[in-house]
């Protein structure tokens, strides 16, 4: 029946089969990869624009596949997004972030703040807050060392629930960043209702900010608005000294990008911290 709803056609669309097959294959591989320890976390530094001091790191997931090499997170996280395997992988990421943060603190980064990306499904998982509390107890690290990065998409998927979860985690000390700001559809009115601490300007605006007038204007008005709301603004994807200077001059608080450092692989973190941070490299 032709008019029986367009959605029926989608079910039999060959691309859909491919996607589902791909996802099922990936789910099996993720389970294996967790057992075989193929995942790791790369940590990308975030620096205060004013004095170039380290504020903390964003934790970025890495998958070193034995046959396919390094698989970028953009290639598997979106596919896993509605799968329970994303929850499991997310738990692994959170636990590893606590372990690494414990090491940072032990190394002398006593105020370090680690930003953890949470997908919509992870954020709306009813066990999230129990899991985080458990990690805080087990590693004896207060929640102030962690910032949870949510995208505008996560927030609009179930706004009332998202706000409730945010307040409950905020109450125990976690802070929140809105990631990829400017790329979604969230209205600015949401910001008022949510206990948000940080806004991250998406790197797509930063890349061409000095060549493209509208990107420049978007960034500058976002910074002004964020500061007016009393929040902290982070620019990601900062690759040049010229971008850094322009952002700093215009009151951006925190800088993240290749100009200072690419994400640092787990194995190189000790050396990175002792050589570049504790020695005042910046």
User: How far apart (Å, rounded) are the C-alpha atoms in residues 99 and 143?
Assistant: 13
Kindly give the pairing relationship between strand 175-181 and strand 198-201: parallel
- How many residues touch ligand C2E under the rule CB under 6 A: the total is 22
In the complex, minimum distance from the CB of residue 238 to ligand C2E, in angstroms, rounded to a whole number: 6
User: Residue holding tokens 């075989």?
Assistant: 36
| Closer residue to ligand C2E in complex, CB, 233/238 | 238
Enter the DSSP assignment of 277: I
Based on the shown chain and the rule CB under 6 A, indicate whether residue 56 belongs to the binding site for ligand C2E.
no
**Smallest separation, CB 276 to Ca ion (Å):** 8
CB 57 within 8 A of CB 112: yes
263 binds ligand C2E (CB under 6 A): yes
Q: In whole angstroms, how close is the CB of 128 to Ca ion at the nearest point?
A: 17
Q: How far is the CB of 253 from ligand C2E (least distance, A)?
A: 16
How far is the C-alpha of 222 from the C-alpha of 235, rounded, in Å? 10
Q: In the set 74, 106, 211, 279, which binds ligand C2E (CB under 6 A)?
A: 74
Contacts with ligand C2E in 106-165 (CB under 6 A)?
117-119
The number of angstroms, rounded, from the C-alpha of 236 to the middle of its chain's C-alpha atoms is 11
Compose the 101-120 pattern: x for residues touching Ca ion by CB under 5 A, - for all others. Answer: ----------------x---
Q: If binding is defined by CB under 6 A, does position 203 make contact with ligand C2E?
A: yes
Please give the torsion angle defined by the CA atoms of residues 239, 241, 247 and 253, in that order, rounded to the nearest 10 degrees: 80
Binding-site member from 28, 72, 195, 208 for ligand C2E (CB under 6 A) = 72
**Residue where the block lists tokens 């005042």:** 280
Question: What is d(CA 144, CA 121) in angstroms, rounded to the nearest whole number?
Answer: 23
Among 179, 201, 233, 253, binds Ca ion (CB under 5 A): 179
| Ordered alpha helix ranges (H), 107-193 | 120-123, 128-139, 152-157, 159-171, 188-193
Kindly give, in sequence order, each residue whose CB lies less than 8 Å from that of residue 239, ignoring residues fewer than 6 positions away. 206, 207, 257, 258, 259
Which residue's CB is nearer to ligand C2E, number 108 or number 151?
Answer: 151
Q: Please identify which residue in 180, 198, 246, 247 interacts with ligand C2E, judged by CB under 6 A.
A: 180
Angle at which helix 14-35 crosses helix 73-80, to 10 degrees, equals 110
149 binds Ca ion, rule: CB under 5 A: yes
Residue 135's contacts (CB-CB under 8 Å, 6 or more residues apart) are 94, 95, 98, 141
The partner in contact with residue 257, picked from Ca ion, ligand C2E, none with C-beta cut-offs of 5 to 8 angstroms by kind, is ligand C2E
Query: Binding of Ca ion at residue 152 (CB under 5 A)?
Result: no
Residue 208 binding ligand C2E, by CB under 6 A = no
Under the criterion CB under 6 A, does residue 60 sit at the interface with ligand C2E?
yes
Residues at the interface with Ca ion (CB under 5 A): 117, 149, 179-180
Residues at the interface with ligand C2E (CB under 6 A): 44, 60-61, 72-74, 77, 93, 117-119, 179-180, 203, 236-239, 256-258, 263
């Amino acid at each position: 029946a032709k008019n029986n709803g367009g959605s029926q056609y989608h079910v039999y669309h060959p691309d859909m089969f491919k996607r589902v097959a791909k996802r099922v294959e990936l789910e099996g591989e993720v389970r294996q990869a967790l057992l075989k320890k193929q995942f790791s976390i790369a940590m990308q530094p975030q620096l205060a624009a004013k004095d170039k001091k380290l504020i903390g790191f964003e934790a970025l997931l890495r998958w070193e596949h034995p046959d396919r090499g390094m698989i970028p997170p953009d290639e598997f996280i979106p596919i896993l997004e509605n799968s329970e395997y994303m929850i499991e992988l997310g738990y692994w990421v959170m636990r590893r972030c606590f372990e690494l943060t414990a090491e940072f603190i032990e190394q002398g980064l006593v105020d370090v703040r680690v930003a953890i990306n949470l997908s919509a499904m992870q954020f709306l998982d009813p066990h999230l807050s129990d899991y985080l509390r458990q990690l805080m107890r087990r590693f004896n690290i207060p929640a102030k060392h962690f910032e949870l990065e949510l995208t505008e998409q996560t927030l609009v998927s179930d706004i009332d629930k998202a706000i409730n979860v945010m307040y409950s985690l905020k109450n125990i000390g976690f802070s929140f960043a809105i990631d990829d700001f400017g790329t979604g559809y969230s209205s600015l009115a949401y910001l008022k209702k949510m206990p948000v601490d940080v806004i991250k300007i998406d790197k797509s605006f930063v890349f061409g900010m000095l060549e493209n007038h509208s990107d420049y204007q978007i960034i500058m008005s976002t910074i002004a608005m964020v500061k007016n709301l009393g929040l902290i603004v982070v620019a990601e994807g900062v690759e040049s000294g010229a971008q850094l200077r322009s952002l700093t001059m215009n009151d951006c608080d925190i800088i993240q990008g290749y100009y200072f450092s690419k994400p640092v692989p787990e194995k190189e973190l000790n050396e990175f911290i002792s050589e570049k941070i504790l020695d005042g490299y910046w």
